[in-house]
Amino acid sequence: MTDLTQLGIKPLRDGVAAGEFTAREVAEAFNAAVADASALNAFIVTTPDHALDAASKVDADRAAGKALGPMAGVPIGMKDLFCTQGVQTTAASHILEGFVPRYESTVSQKLWDAGAGMLGKLNLDQFAMGSSNETSHFGNVSSPWRRTGTNAPMSPGGSSGGSSAAVAARIAPAATGTDTGGSIRQPAAFTGICGIKPTYGRCSRWGVVAFASSLDQAGPMARSVEDCAIMLGAMAGFDPKDATSLKMDVPDWAAGLDGNLAGKTIGIPREYRMEGTDAAILDSWERGKQWLRDAGATIVDISLPHTKYALPAYYIIAPAEASSNLARYDGVRYGLRDLPDGAGLQDMYAETREAGFGDEVKRRILIGTYVLSAGFYDAYYTQAQKVRALVARDFEQAFAQCDLILAPTTPTASFPLGENSEDPLAMYLNDVFAVPASLAGLPAMSVPAMQNEGGLPLGLQLVGRPFDEQGVLNAGLAIEQRAGFSAQPDKWWC
């Protein structure tokens, strides 16, 4: 039999539907792969029974002649920001350790309704705050990739590092991610997989632990553009429980995939040619332009003049919203409670938050509280929101000249764990190419392009107009078809 763990969403779903193998066989194969890959530390909690139960239901439905869902027979990893009924949800933080929700997030419920099963809850940077997956209370996630000539553990990116590592290592065919300022796209680029952040509001935020509510957006991470299109179709849709949810029909993005870009114009932002960007990244960008020309597109230069202000604006807005969102974790209703003998209520608040939050989370709460405080609100937060509006206007004006934008996903390839962890600014710069699309709420995708001299994957980013996920996916398919990226990491963890 074919090694089932080498198959992605579409071949697994279609194989189950055709009777080539059972959903239970698929679940058993991936459960075994997860168990063998504990060295990656990609999962906080494993749920083999959930995967098997979902598979048994799919097999029973097929035997009864019932219609199968678009994710039928596909077990996935669930980022541990999504609340899962009866299964611990921690956001990779000590302050939520032991919290077991009594409800299901909208996105995860949609995936279960579509026939998917859950292999487990995936590790991440604590509260999605990080770019390397080194801030988790449950330990670092290690990328399945190694730089040629060294065994140094590499970063899988962040915050969705557990998701990217699991998909790249072939221990999950796909996984959910969340993207606040690049947390789907950057780890996808670091590990040689595909990941798409849809238009803000496409996927419900209900039941997703909040970081920055005006930026957070769920999306799929998978091995191919088509698999991302299938999974996004299952995840997306209007949710009355989320006030920011888009009341729009969900297109059949997978059926609409077309790598022919004749008549399309692709913009190349001159401001993304930044000092310090790796030469290999710039080379991949040049190749991407040629691939899109080969697909029929016209390449034009565009300007996004406020790009240089996007990152500092993001690191005011996101911490400000985090400061507000994380105020609920105080030891009263759920999660950790640290109550020393003789302590009062204020002491309990302080001790619980001191013990429960990691250093990066505390840093961002302090920044956010500062920029929202009296005397500084107008100087920082109000100004950052004005910059955000200018960044969005830049994109609007650019899309008068082009249909899509092509840029690097990251300024460098993956780096060794620990290399940047003591320098927050260096870590924040990982998101310099990803943040602008997040501030504007635009759909954006990373697709693997090539490997550098060290054998590490490099990704290209496509940004589209609001609601044009189809255009982004089509351009991603054009790159995927021409890049022919098929490299896999050596299974050093087995």
The CATH number of the domain holding residue 70 is 3.90.1300.10
Residue 151 lies in a domain: yes
For the stretch 82-97, pLDDT in tens is 999 999 999 999 999 9
pLDDT given at position 444:
98
Structural domain of 178: 4-258+444-457+472-483
pLDDT given at position 1:
57
pLDDT given at position 7:
98
Longest Cα–Cα distance in the chain: 72
Mean pLDDT of 337-351: 84
Our answer to whether residue 159 is catalytic in this structure is yes
Residue 97 lies in a domain: yes
Angle between helices 469-483 and 279-294 (to 10 degrees): 100
Q: What is the CA radius of gyration of the chain?
A: 21
Residue 333 lies in a domain: no
β strands within 174-309, DSSP E:
174-179, 194-197, 217-222, 265-269, 298-302
Our answer to whether residue 93 is catalytic in this structure is no
pLDDT given at position 74:
98
Mean pLDDT of 327-337: 89
Pairing of strands 265-269, 298-302: parallel
Residue 307 lies in a domain: no
pLDDT given at position 360:
95
Residue 152 lies in a domain: yes
Residue 80 lies in a domain: yes
Could you say which of 108, 136, 155, 159 is catalytic? 159
Query: How far is it, in rounded angstroms, from Cα 365 to Cα 370?
Result: 8
% of the chain beyond a pLDDT of 90: 91
Q: What share of the chain is helix, strand, coil (3-state, %, to 5)?
A: 40, 15, 45
Strand-pairing partners, residue 447, are 460
Could you say which of 79, 110, 121, 264 is catalytic? 79
pLDDT given at position 446:
98
Pairing of strands 43-46, 117-122: antiparallel
pLDDT given at position 2:
75
For the stretch 119-133, pLDDT in tens is 999 999 999 999 999
Residue 324 lies in a domain: no
- pLDDT-based confidence at 424, cuts 50/70/90? confident
Residue 275 lies in a domain: no
Our answer to whether residue 264 is catalytic in this structure is no
Mean pLDDT of 148-152: 94
A 10 A CB-CB count for 150 gives 10
Strand-pairing partners, residue 237, are none
Mean pLDDT of 63-92: 98
Q: Does residue 422 carry a pLDDT above 90?
A: no
Number of domains in the chain: 1
Q: Does residue 308 carry a pLDDT above 60?
A: yes
Could you say which of 164, 183, 204, 421 is catalytic? 183
